[in-house]
Amino acid sequence: MTCFLKGMPVVLALLLANGASAGIILTSLSDQLSEGRQCGAATSVGTTALFAGGLGPGLSGLDGVDICDSATSTWSTASLSKGRVWMAATAVGTKALFAGGATDLLYEPPSRRVDIYEGGGWSTASLSKARSSLAATSVGDKALFAGGLDSGSDATDRVDIYDSASDSWSTASLSQARSNLAATTAGGQALFAGGSAGSGVSDVVDIYEGGAWSAATLSEARSSLAATSAGGMALFAGGRITSDYPIQTLSATVDIYDAATRTWGIESLSEARAQLAATSAGDFAFFGGGITSDHSSSDVVDIYHVPSDTWYTAHLSVARYNLMATSVGNQAIFAGGGFRGKFVEIFEVTDSASWTRPAASGAGDWADATCWDSVVGPFPTDDVLIANGGTAQVSGTAQAGSVTVGGGSSLNIVGGTLTAGAMAASGTVNLTSGTLTVTDPTGPTLGAGSLLNVSPGAALNVAALSNAGTMVVLSPAIDFGSGLTNTGDAMFMGTTVAGPVHTPTGSTVTILGTVTFDDPVSGGGSFWGPGTAVFNAGHEPGDSPARVTFEGGVAYGPFAHLLMEIGGPTPGDDYDVIAVGGSFSPDGTLEVRLINGYSPPPDSFFDIFEFDPALRTGEFSSVVLPEGYGWDTSGLYSTGGIRVRASGPPAIPEPATLSLLALGLGALVRRRRRSAPR
């Protein structure tokens, strides 16, 4: 839960890899801290984030503490036992510790004080040596405070270690005395890196693990860097290489330590800077603010997603350096900094991203983060919502866990590739060119009022599809995988359709040109349009049963199997009827089946086809009729009907039919199809 009190979420920019990733929502609180502060210290314990001390008016240290309780979404204040600046903070167990520091900006005099917050109450302890500009981190049940500047403004190698299990203190030493270093913990290892050592900067990394110490080196020596950990990695970013005024050399390097393999890698910030702040939420590391090489403040927030090795860029609401950062749950929080600022930014890691550009602003590209409510745009596993009447365009490569296109909104794929785990639309999806892939076995769900356009140069890859809206397919071929369920309106033009199609009563299919169905088609929906529908596999008209109308032509291929059901005397209600307005080209097998226990009386007539005999070409190669009745099929290709004879032996089928009479048994033997089994 976000700590909103004096502000609400501000939409700045957004869009949604492996592993769990998410959108990042930014909330800016312009006047949230109780007093402006820079060079303070921050940490979190449980659901509570604490921002303490720092530089106040008159260049003296502040004693104020701003406390954000994310469980109750409230802010409160408290006081340190002594005001100070340049402290170090960390949390261990249920305690948050604020240690050392100085009483003013000039590092004098340094302090031994440790203020300890636990459960809403405060207590104090002391470091073994007074110092400021130190670094702190925790590992297991131990909190470590290392390095810093002592009372002579000299760097120290002292490490104070607090054991929360025994409530006791001990000391150790860094391999090199230094101040303005950075600390973080990954994989049970506490790392203290870089810093100012004597007249220069250091590349040393001291590593504490299980009571023992070892050392490594950064790729670049520097001080005033920032550190955090995410996804089992310790990251050390930016820093100052030289500080000769007015020229200073800053670093954009990010040294990354893999705690599992104990190996190092190198990445880069989007800009070189020092005196920045770092924290993490989930698998994301955040590096915000800082001072640049020309001594100006930065508003950049570089965001690194560890599992996918991907960088994103966002911005603070106000550029500043010497700010504080910590995290609570899925929130990365930046506070204070600059000229005693009260600003707070909360970057909340979520599992979704929403399109926020309205229709009045025109279309925007998926890759344009300013169109979204996530400051970095959608990540590959995000649940994406395109709403507000906006139009999102995919011209490159995009991924999402799911995509929902709201009513009045549009998703246009123009030359790009979008892969989504699932998709639902009540708006418009235009597949102009490029590829849309939906991996969910149930396929996309197109709701009432939706529109899907598939152009000739586009590819739609789905495992299935459910359409209750309007679907227009102009591509020469489309594969619906395990099937298309069409309860709305579907139009095909010159398309070869793969995958079963079910179009129940009340739905429509519009046929333009020759549309070929290579897999079974079923349902009582109507077929409109002047084109010809070609059935190469099974066709089961009706919904047990129905009258199915074809405005244009109908053709059955040599391996087609047409099943007509008879359950009573009323056409369309009791038995299936196919009404053809254009050409009629029968072939393959016609099977007539009795349903619902119906036994037709003698002289019953069933007009199962309606067509213009002048527009008929060909005959079914096999006609399979219910056994035990004398059937008259002499009018099948003229009137479209079949009749149960009043008396006498069964009528001999027309010569063109290949059904065999089983003499002696008086039964019809179903002829094997000439193709492999369906």
Predicted pLDDT of residue 359: 65
33, 51 Cβ separation under 8 angstroms: yes
Per-residue pLDDT at 334 exceeds 90: yes
Q: Strand 88-92's sheet: what is its strand order?
A: 88-92, 95-99, 113-118, 121-126
**SS3 labels along 287-312:** EECCECCCCCECCEEEEEECCCCEEE
- Choose between 357 and 252: higher pLDDT: 252
Q: CB-based contacts of 262: which residues, under 8 Å, 6+ apart? A: none
The confidence score (pLDDT) of residue 24 equals 87
φ and ψ of 467, to 5 deg: -120, 120
DSSP code string of 322-358: S-EEEEETTEEEEE--TTT---EEEEEE-SEEEE---
| Residue 548: other Cβ atoms inside 10 A | 25
Would you say residue 13 has pLDDT above 90?
no
Computed from CA positions of residues 654, 657, 661, 667, in that sequence, does the dihedral angle turn out positive or negative?
negative
CA terminus-to-terminus distance, the chain:
56
Q: Given pLDDT bands bounded at 50, 70 and 90, which one contains residue 59?
A: confident
User: Is the pLDDT assigned to residue 15 strictly greater than 50?
Assistant: no
370 in helix, strand or coil? Answer: helix
Q: What is the pLDDT of residue 670?
A: 29
Higher-confidence residue of 338 and 247: namely 338
Residue 296 CB coordination number (10 Å)? 10
The pLDDT of residue 22 is 55
What's the pLDDT at 398?
Answer: 95
Pairing assessment for the beta strands 397-405 and 410-425 based on DSSP bridges: parallel
Q: Give the model's pLDDT for residue 222.
A: 97
Residue 406 to residue 247: CA distance in whole angstroms: 53
Task: Work out the pLDDT band at 104, boundaries 50, 70, 90.
Answer: confident
- pLDDT value for 417: 97
Q: Which two tokens stand for residue 25?
A: 């929502």
Confidence of residue 460 (pLDDT cuts 50, 70, 90): very high
List the helix and strand counts (H, then E) for the chain: 0, 68
pLDDT of residue 353: 85
pLDDT of residue 27: 86
The residue-averaged pLDDT of 487-491 equals 98
For residue 380, name the pLDDT band (cuts at 50, 70, 90).
confident
Can you tell me the mean pLDDT for 275-284? 95
The model's confidence at residue 656, banded by pLDDT at 50, 70 and 90, is very low
If you average pLDDT over residues 490-499, what whole number do you get?
98
pLDDT for 615-654, tens place per residue? 999 999 999 999 999 999 999 999 999 999 975 444 444 4
Q: What pLDDT is recorded for position 677?
A: 32
- The β-bridge relationship of strands 158-163 and 142-146 is antiparallel
DSSP state of 62: P
State residue 18's pLDDT score: 29
pLDDT at 674 over 50: no
- 300-304, 437-441, 494-498, 652-656: lowest mean pLDDT where? 652-656
* Domains of the chain: residue spans and CATH: 24-349 (2.120.10.80)
Give the confidence band of 544 by pLDDT, cuts at 50, 70, 90.
confident
The chain-wide mean pLDDT, for the chain, equals 90
Give the per-residue pLDDT at 91.
98
CA 479 to chain centre: 25
Residue 528: CB atoms within 10 A of its CB come to: 18
Which of 242-246, 297-301, 324-328, 538-542 is predicted least confidently? Answer: 242-246
**What pLDDT score was predicted for residue 362?**
64
Each residue's pLDDT tens digit, 116-132: 999 999 999 999 999 99
Tell me the β-bridge partners of 74: 69
Output the pLDDT for position 46.
95
Q: What angle do CA 384, 13, 315 make, to 5 degrees?
A: 135
Question: Region 267-289: what's the mean pLDDT?
Answer: 96
Rounded mean pLDDT, 200-208: 97
| Other C-beta atoms lying within 10 Å of the C-beta of residue 635 | 15
Contact 65, 45 (CB under 8 A): no
The answer to whether residue 21 scores a pLDDT higher than 80 is no
Helix (H, G, I), strand (E, B) or coil at 59: helix
Max Cα distance, the chain (Å): 124
Averaged pLDDT for residues 650-662: 37
- Tell me which long-range contacts 105-109 makes (C-beta under 8 A, separation of at least 24): 105/39, 105/55, 105/59, 105/60, 106/59, 107/132, 107/133, 107/149, 107/153, 108/151, 108/153, 109/151
The number of CA neighbours under 13 Å toward the Cβ of 461 is: 11
Which pLDDT score, from 0 to 100, does residue 659 have? 35
Write down the pTM of the prediction. 0.76
Mean pLDDT score, 271-278: 97
Rg (CA), the chain: 37
CA triplet 77, 78, 80: central angle to 5 degrees?
140
Does residue 667 register a pLDDT over 60? no
Give the span between the Cα atoms of 256 and 259, in whole angstroms: 9
Q: Which percentage of the chain shows pLDDT scores above 90?
A: 78
Q: 388-438 pLDDT, tens per residue?
A: 788 999 999 999 999 999 999 999 999 999 999 999 999 999 999 999 999
Q: What tens digit of pLDDT does each residue of 618-627 get? A: 999 999 999 9
Output the pLDDT for position 675: 31
pLDDT tens-digit series, residues 157-189 = 999 999 999 999 999 999 999 999 999 999 999
Burial per residue of 58-78, b for 16 or more beta-carbon CB atoms within 10 angstroms, e otherwise: eeebbbbbbbbbbeeeebeeb
d(CA 280, CA 269): 15
The full 3-state SS of 206-270, as one line of letters, equals: EEEECCEEEEEECCCCCECCEEEEECCEEEEECCEEECCCCCCEECCEEEEEECCCCEEEEEECC
Tell me the C-alpha distance between 534 and 538, whole Å: 11
